[in-house]
Structure 1
Amino acid sequence: MFKKILVGIDGSAMGDKAFNTALTLAKGWGAELFLVHVMPMPTLPNVFPPGAIAYVPESVLQDLTREIKEKAEKTLEERLNQVKEKGVTGQIKVLKGEPASAIASFAQEEGIDLIVVGSRGISGVKELMLGSVSHKISQLARCPILIVK
């Protein structure tokens, strides 16, 4: 049925449930599993509180970006090992930017047949104000979405 499944990995409990569900589906259908993490780009508002005045050298932001990416890659590699242990083919990808649009764009570019995401990630109160990533993906994506509760 589905040959390419994308699962969003964000480090949350719901993300873990989405991963397990996607892995089960990929194994059952013989699909390839794409493990995707979207990293926010560090900007001054993300690093310092509102109203703070600071100068941060570009090299510091570059170092922070590299550290965030390395941590995400390590997490994805660990998940990919679990995927391979189950006999499923998988790929990892760290994307940059706003999660919903990055995932929807990547899914379209790669010809993804199904996107699996958790119903709530790690964003908490911010999510209630701006709308959930899963909801935004369901509006942007051109393929079926499975939102795991």
Structure 2
Amino acid sequence: MFKRMLLAYDGSENSKRALDVAVDLAKRYEAKLDVIEVVDTSVIIGAGVGPVPPDVIESLYAKARADIEYAKKVAEQGSIKAEGIILEGDPASAVLDYASKNGVDLIVTGSRGLSTIKRMLLGSVSSRIIHESKIPVLVVK
């Protein structure tokens, strides 16, 4: 049924719960797990505070790398083959685009991640994924 699953991950408590569910499902279906974290630099750049220092952007990527390594370690402890991918852009769009281009059978995400003012105004990432996805989505509360 599910041979390739995508976990939208951001290191939040809800995404850690989603990681546990994704690992369990991947084990049951012998599926490959793609763990994706999307770096959304538009929030910082759009704040209008002038040029963003490169170390600020790098810190976002460093956090994403650490989050991905943690998730891969949890998956590997569960005997799951996991790949970590860091993307940049709007989180929901990036997740949906990756899923459609990579033959993903199921998207797993937490119900609320590390929100920003932008996401509070425009709606949650998980809500957009649910409404726009053409494949099944499992939202873990």
C-alpha RMSD over aligned residues: 1.9
Task: Give 5+ residue unaligned stretches, structure 2.
Answer: none
Question: For the Cα contact (< 8 Å) 1:101–1:140, is it kept in 2?
Answer: no
Deviation larger for 122-131 or 138-147: 122-131
How much has 1:141 moved relative to structure 2?
1.9
Structure 2 SS opposite 1:146: strand
1:86 and 2:78 equivalent? yes
Tell me the equivalent position of 2:5: 5
Question: For the Cα contact (< 8 Å) 2:27–2:79, is it kept in 1?
Answer: yes
1:29 and 2:29 equivalent? yes
Alignment of 1:65-76 (within 5 A): 65-76=57-68
How much has 1:67 moved relative to structure 2?
2.4
Question: For the Cα contact (< 8 Å) 2:15–2:109, is it kept in 1?
Answer: yes
Task: Give 5+ residue unaligned stretches, structure 1.
Answer: 49-54
CA distance in 2, matches of 1:23, 1:96: 24
Tell me the equivalent position of 1:123: 115
Structure 1: which 4+ aligned runs deviate by more than 6 Å?
none
Deviation digits for residues 89-148 of structure 1, max 9, x if unmatched?
Answer: 110001111110000000111110000011111216654432111110112222110111
Seen in structure 2, the aligned counterparts of structure 1 residues 125 and 47 have a Cα distance that, compared at 3 Å, is closer
Tell me the equivalent position of 1:146: 138
CA distance in 2, matches of 1:12, 1:70: 15
Larger Rg: 1
